[in-house]
Structure 1
Amino acid sequence: MTTQTAPVATQVRPTKDLATTDVSGGATGADQPAADRGRTSIADVVVVKVAGIAAREIPGVYDMGGGLSRTIGAVRDRVPGGRPNVGRGVKVEVGERQTAIDLDLVVEYGVSVMDVAQDVRENVVSAVERVTGLEVVEVNVTVNDVHLPDDDEPAHTGEARVE
């Protein structure tokens, strides 16, 4: 018994797909437009940094991350030569065309938490989609703490107890 195979049809992709942005796709060959030759991969850390910067741009966001990560970050920021971690408080899941983002925030006392969360969400979606071309399917915002104005003042030492 012999098996026959049908000829394989070559499928040419359009250069622009308006519904989705396929950042990992690509084709090889001289017959393809230059922009479509090869693959583009976006690492998780790229999305983390873009989202972290975008979230910090919003007035009312004091800091990002949970208690332990903020403590470690504060120590890291004070070390000479240390750089601030823009990704602190940001977790992402990146697929081929989409990403989901989780943010942990500390907001300033007196601001509307819901308004800050909405502004953060809008700014993060806009920045990540503009910079990476990935579709942001969700941005989950968790407010872990409220920064009080008294938190910045040094502790009152008063009189010395001993001489």
Structure 2
Amino acid sequence: MTVNESTGVGTPATGTGSTKGRTTIADSVVAVIAGIAARDVSGVHAMGGGASRTIGSVKDRVPGATGHGRGVKVEVGEKQAALDLTVVVEYGAAIGDVARNVRSGVSEAVKTMTGLEVVEVNIAVVDVYVPGESSDDEDEQQSPSRVR
């Protein structure tokens, strides 16, 4: 992926190259963009599977660490990107609609911010969040301290 240095507008590399340089977009950057876009969709409760969310809850406590790319795997080429997302949906949400909206929102965000063509967005729904039921993460956070 290159950026046209005279206009500042991102365009996929065409093979002719810019005379002023090249901009490379890391997979992790695309993962963060996709993760934020997916979380913005109504019906998405969380990103990532059980182990990913557990590790993420620990990382979230570290100052400066973000979990925006949690539950997102990307493959970025010179002109295209393919993404795999793991999501937890809220109980009562129509999973097909949520998946369609995630796919659309993620594709649009990645295209707009990077100029990459999104060739596929695969979505794995791994859990359903039921309000009022505590998860392992919540139990860990709400349990009283054993030391004073």
Would you call these one fold, judging by a TM-score over 0.5?
Answer: yes
Q: Which has the higher contact order (CA 8 A, sep 6+)?
A: 2
Instruction: Sort the Cα spacing of 1:41 and 1:108 in 2 relative to 1 into closer, same or farther, 3 A.
Output: same
Structure with greater strand share of residues: 2
Instruction: Sort the Cα spacing of 1:25 and 1:67 in 2 relative to 1 into closer, same or farther, 3 A.
Output: farther
Please identify the structure whose Cα radius of gyration is greater: 1
CA–CA distance in 1 between the matches of 2:14 and 2:31? 17
- Give per-residue Cα distances to partners, 1:19-76, cap 9 Å, x unaligned: x732785143xxxxxxxx3222111111011000000000110001011011111222
The answer to whether the Cα contact below 8 Å between 1:76 and 1:82 also exists between their aligned partners in 2 is no
CA–CA distance in 2 between the matches of 1:54 and 1:82? 20
Matched, 1:114 2:96: yes
How far off its partner does 1:80 sit? Answer: 5.3
Which stretches in structure 1 are left out of the alignment for 5+ residues? 1-14, 29-36, 156-163
Task: Show the counterpart of 2:85.
Answer: 103
Query: CA RMSD, aligned part only?
Result: 2.4
TM-score normalised per structure 2: 0.78
Which stretches in structure 2 are left out of the alignment for 5+ residues? 1-5, 140-148
Q: What amino acid sits opposite 1:104 in the alignment?
A: T
Instruction: Sort the Cα spacing of 1:24 and 1:56 in 2 relative to 1 into closer, same or farther, 3 A.
Output: farther
| Amino-acid identity (%) | 55
